[in-house]
A and B are shown apart, each in its own frame.
Chain A
Amino acid sequence: MDLTLKIWRQKNSSAKGKFETYKVNDVSPDSSFFEMLDTLNQQIIETGNDPVAFDHDCREGICGTCSLYINGRPHGPKRGITTCQLHMRSFKTGDTIVIEPWRAKPFPIVKDLLVDRSALDLIIQAGGYVSVNTGGIPDANSIPVQKQKADLAMDAASCIGCGACVAACANASAMLFVGAKVSQLALLPQGKVEAADRVEKMVAMMDMLGFGNCSNTYACEAECPKEVKVTNIARMNRWFIRSKVGAEKPEAATYD
């Protein structure tokens, strides 16, 4: 298949970017989107120019490194997959494909299609963990967990932190991401202890970094490659309310 690509090119974070148009011919419909981009980059390199920078790592939909806003949708036109799992059979010969970096104030562009998503790591660092003392490995069945809750926690934990929710959201809100991270821990007994404290800290960090406010358009759920549900946002809101009205929060340890 023959394609026209309209790709955002930007030298570095402070440069003014613009779209460049490229042609790639004889693309196999069975090749992946990234293989197609690799072909393009080979062409560009052969002409002595700078190849298009884009993020990717595992290329099998598990690491959350790939991004790309393809024809108006994060991770392209297919539901429930990452860009690295997208294949060229989802397009037709003669198509023009517009590829943009993810746009959000907390995701500055590093180069071309590559954005810095460390804001999501900062949110995790603010509280997305369980504080435990290290020691021997506890027995797997020492704390009983309800099956439904374990399933819900697992669903929330399937978030790979790619940021598609932010990219899709009209408000560049990270609430699906934070909702998933808050939920996966709050649903389990080990994580529940710190849930109220955690939600406050993570939400405060999310706000500070400049993410927007969810207006319940649910574009995030529609675009999440792992199909994380917006019910996680409601759960985060519930925990947030509880953190404000009386939930016990762990106090800083005192040694006296």
Chain B
Amino acid sequence: MSTLFKYSSITKKIIMGAFGLFLALFLLVHLTINLLLLSGDGGKMFSAASEFMTTNVLIKIFEYVLFGGFFIHILFGVIVTLKNWASRPVGYYTSNKSHTSFFSKYMFHTGVIIFIFLLLHFMHFFFIKTGWVQPPAGIEKHDFYGLAVALFTHKIYSLIYIAFFVFLGFHLNHSIQSGFQTLGLNHNKYNSAIKIVSLVYSVIVAGGFSLIPLYFMFIF
């Protein structure tokens, strides 16, 4: 553990950033599959996709890579943040009035919120698949469509999910352009384009995921 702290500041940032970008990309894959829930075919396509995602060997291996990605991103995020807090042991009396991007200051906070959501999300899906959590009455543990319907027709959960996606959007909004900067993939010519991509991507992901609970609340 202590050797992790010894990595140079830039190395830690690069590891955190690279895994963050990888996770952000994965969200798009996850979203594409989830949007099949909206196809209105009684879950046929969605079930076929989840069947593929849960049985394909390559995807099973990828699952470990993904968990590793989450673990490393979070671990380095915490290490970097602890060092940052230690770098100013005595704070200012007046809160900082510098012009900065708003979301960038709350990456740790939004990160913690996303982590809590991740646990909740696992309780609702992944831990049911592994058998650690009992599925709701009458639903089989591999029936992801049934699980999704049971969850999202529940108004409170739907609202919680939407609220979390808003925070995920905040996190992504800063993180994509920030990841590019950290990896040194940055050029005066493309910087504004990268910022726009960052914004559009966060809106697509947060908006796209929110569509699903909204659909079940109002249309299903």
Contact = CB atoms under 8 A, between A and B. Distances in A.
Interface of A: 8, 19, 69, 71-74, 77, 98, 100, 103-106, 168, 170-173, 175, 203-204, 206-207, 210-219, 222-223, 230-231, 233-241, 244
Contacts of A170: 84, 96, 100, 105
A175 B12 CA distance: 14
A231 B87 contact: no
B191 A231 contact: yes
A210 B86 contact: yes
B83 interface: yes
Interface residues on B, range: 35 or more
B182 to A, nearest CB: 6
A73 B101 contact: no
Interface string B167-208: 000000010011001111111100100000000000000000
Interface of B: 8-14, 80, 83-84, 86-101, 104-105, 107, 174, 177-178, 181-188, 191
Contacts of B86: 105, 210, 212
Contacts of B94: 69, 71-72, 98, 100
Nearest to B76: A213
Contacts of A171: 83-84, 87-88
Contacts of B10: 203, 236-237, 240
A19 B93 contact: yes
Contacts of B101: 217-218
Contact of A219 (B100, B177, B183): B100
Contact of B87 (A19, A77, A211, A223): A211
Given A73-B96, A74-B98, A234-B184, 19 more contacts: A19-B93, A69-B92, A77-B97, A168-B98, A171-B83, A204-B8, A206-B9, A211-B9, A212-B83, A212-B88, A213-B80, A217-B101, A218-B100, A218-B104, A223-B98, A231-B186, A234-B181, A234-B182, A240-B14
